[in-house]
């Protein structure tokens, strides 16, 4: 019987799991000359252990993002998520809209990705995004979940204060 969920990363006390060869990173548009501020830390939010991304997102100086990214494959590799219907996040936010970006082996340029927007309410909630719910950005082919390299949550392209916590990321059937 196939699994209905595959946990890629969980920050629950005593059971942090992560896919092999995967790693978390947090960064902002400052890597490209922007001026958004980001803090990416381990935290406890409303009783759950998590990773928390917070900061000021601004379009000043050509920027406009902060992000926490889960690299699922080493450089040039890919992670096969094709047995699943999409990605699920257990998040707690501040009532703002956030983006999920998926990069695959088909993405070459830094701005190429598959994107979906969701609202992160000020409570813990599960957000499910099917692979078909992602829109290609600067790509002509649809998302191929057999070629995933990175999943990322972003405060994206508008001036606002971002504050989003992530307790778990999984693939769902």
**What's the domain count of the chain?**
1
Longest dimension (CA), the chain: 52
Residue 85, SS3 per DSSP: coil
List CB contacts of 61: < 8 A, sequence separation 6 or more.
33, 34, 35
- What pLDDT is stored for residue 1 in this prediction? 45
* Residue range(s) defining the domain that contains residue 39: 5-172
| CATH code of the domain covering residue 86 | 2.60.120.430
Give 101-111 pLDDT, tens digit per residue. 999 999 998 89
Q: Per-residue b/e over 158-173, b at no fewer than 16 CB within 10 Å?
A: eeeebbbbbbbbbbbe
Q: From the CB of residue 119, how many other CB atoms can be counted at a distance below 10 Å?
A: 12
Cβ atoms of residues 61 and 160 within 8 Å: no
- What pLDDT is stored for residue 21 in this prediction? 72
Give me the tens of pLDDT residue by residue for the chain, a chain 173 residues long. Answer: 457 899 999 998 666 567 777 889 999 999 888 999 999 999 999 999 999 999 999 999 989 999 999 999 877 789 999 999 999 999 999 999 999 999 999 999 889 999 999 999 999 999 999 999 999 999 999 999 999 999 999 999 999 999 999 999 999 99
Give 65-109 pLDDT, tens digit per residue. 999 999 998 777 899 999 999 999 999 999 999 999 999 999 998
Tell me phi and psi for residue 142, to 5 degrees.
Answer: -70, 165
């Amino acid at each position: 019987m196939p699994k209905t969920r595959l946990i890629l990363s969980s920050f629950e006390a005593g059971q942090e799991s992560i896919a092999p060869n995967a790693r978390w990173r947090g960064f902002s548009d400052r890597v490209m000359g922007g001026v958004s501020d980001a803090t990416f830390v381990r935290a406890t939010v409303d009783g759950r252990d998590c990773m928390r991304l917070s900061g000021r997102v601004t379009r000043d100086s050509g920027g406009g993002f902060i992000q926490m990214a889960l690299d699922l494959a080493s450089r040039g590799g890919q992670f096969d998520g094709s047995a699943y219907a999409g990605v699920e996040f257990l998040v707690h936010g501040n009532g703002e809209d956030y983006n999920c970006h998926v990069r695959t082996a088909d993405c070459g340029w830094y701005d190429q990705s598959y994107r979906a927007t969701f609202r992160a309410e000020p409570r813990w909630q599960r957000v499910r995004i099917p692979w078909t719910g992602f829109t290609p950005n600067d790509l002509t082919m649809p998302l191929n979940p057999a070629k995933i390299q990175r999943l990322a949550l972003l405060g994206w392209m508008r001036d606002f204060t971002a504050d989003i916590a992530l307790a778990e990321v999984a693939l769902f059937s």
